[in-house]
């Protein structure tokens, strides 16, 4: 299956590369960051399943500083450039097929830490992103990263996502990390903030146990936190090092606004990610 997925991605990359010139794809062309993921979620009141696909193409006819990206994912998360920890499957949030769509576009590396992307999502709806990422070493055991993304869509107009992460190695196989992200758009003018504080323990052979405290808040809802909870996750390879499984269990206290009470409940998720 992995071979079939990769061959399909390579076939697509060759076809797209041919649109831009006659240089052969074998002259430096490649498919990187390929992921095909299946996520299953169970909550007391509902079950859901979602499939996500992402890949990045380096095309010789676009020269070294440009690339093409394609996939099927949650367009809200892709366009606002949400950190992976805040995607719906990673927060044990239900996601229907209607909430994912195909997207594609072209990115240009302006500098080592900055790229400009122009893309289209389902229905040929355009969007533009300007992304900046800067990792910072704060010492032998401390690492920080700053991420800033400005984006534009027809519906949102201008928008911005700012994310900061701080990580400290407590031991050779134990680390703690705090990640916070905030997004606001010109159309909504409501700042949404997500926070994740976690401890991560490695057990060798790409096995990891994590315990995370998660909280989200949004302006003009009348409540301090629209959701908060705790979750544990176990991740390990299922086959070789390219098929990775993850089990998640969490308990959450959501409250959309001040007109409804909190609705605490358990949630469980299972995901398989094929890297190609």
Q: Dump pLDDT digits (tens) for 106-131.
A: 999 999 899 999 999 987 899 999 99
Is the Cβ–Cβ distance between 184 and 88 less than 8 Å? no
Q: Residue 62 and residue 111: Cα distance in Å, rounded? A: 16
Is residue 13 very low, low, confident or very high in pLDDT (cuts 50, 70, 90)? very high
Q: What is the pLDDT of residue 65?
A: 80
CB neighbourhood size of 18 (10 A): 14
Percent of the chain surpassing pLDDT 70: 100
pTM score, two decimals?
A: 0.90
Is the Cβ–Cβ distance between 163 and 83 less than 8 Å? yes
More confident residue, 46 or 246: 246
Q: What is the pLDDT of residue 120?
A: 95
**First and final CA of the chain: distance in angstroms?**
10
Q: What are the sequence ranges of the domains in the chain?
A: 2-275
Is the Cβ–Cβ distance between 152 and 160 less than 8 Å? no
- 39, with CB counted inside 10 A (0-12, 13-18, 19+), is buried
DSSP β-bridge partners for residue 231: 212, 250
Among 94-108, 137-151, 190-204, 237-251, the least confident range:
94-108
> Long-range CB contacts (< 8 A, 24+ apart) of 145-148?
147/81, 147/83
Q: What is the pLDDT of residue 94?
A: 87
The predicted model gives 25-31 an average pLDDT of 91
Most confident of 45-49, 77-81, 92-96: 77-81
Q: What is the mean pLDDT of the chain?
A: 94
Is the Cβ–Cβ distance between 37 and 271 less than 8 Å? yes
Q: What does the buried/exposed string (b/e) look like for 117-133 if buried means 16 or more CB atoms within 10 Å of the residue's CB? A: bebebeeeeebebbbee
Domain 2-275 has CATH 2.40.30.10: no
- Longest Cα–Cα distance in the chain: 62
- Summarize pLDDT for 132-187 with one digit per residue, the tens: 999 998 888 899 999 999 999 999 999 999 999 999 999 989 999 999 999 999 99
Q: Evaluate if residue 97 carries a pLDDT over 80.
A: no
Q: Residue 98 and residue 115: Cα distance in Å, rounded? A: 29
């Amino acid at each position: 299956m992995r071979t079939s997925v990769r061959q399909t991605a390579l076939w697509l990359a060759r076809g797209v590369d041919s649109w831009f010139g006659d240089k052969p794809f074998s002259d430096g062309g490649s498919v990187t960051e390929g992921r095909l993921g299946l996520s299953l979620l169970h909550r007391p009141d509902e079950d859901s399943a979602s499939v996500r696909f992402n890949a990045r193409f380096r095309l010789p006819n676009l020269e070294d500083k440009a690339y093409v990206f394609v996939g099927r994912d949650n367009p809200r998360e892709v366009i606002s450039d949400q950190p992976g920890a805040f995607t719906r499957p990673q927060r044990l949030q239900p996601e229907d097929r209607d909430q994912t769509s195909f997207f594609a576009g072209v990115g240009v590396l302006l500098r080592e830490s900055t790229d400009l992307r122009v893309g289209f999502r389902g229905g040929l709806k355009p969007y533009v992103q300007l992304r900046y990422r800067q990792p910072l070493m704060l010492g032998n055991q401390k690492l920080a990263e700053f991420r800033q993304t400005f984006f534009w869509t027809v519906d949102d107009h201008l928008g911005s996502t700012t994310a900061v992460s701080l990580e400290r190695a407590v031991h050779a196989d134990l680390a703690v990390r705090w990640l916070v992200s905030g997004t606001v758009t010109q159309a909504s003018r409501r700042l949404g903030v997500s926070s994740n504080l976690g401890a991560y323990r490695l057990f060798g052979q790409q096995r990891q146990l994590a315990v995370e405290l998660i909280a989200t808040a949004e302006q003009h809802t009348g409540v301090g936190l629209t959701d908060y909870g705790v979750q544990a996750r176990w991740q390990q390879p299922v086959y070789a090092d390219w098929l990775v499984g993850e089990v998640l269990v969490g308990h959450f206290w959501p409250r959309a606004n001040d007109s409804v009470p909190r609705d605490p409940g358990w949630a469980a998720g299972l995901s398989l990610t094929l890297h190609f």
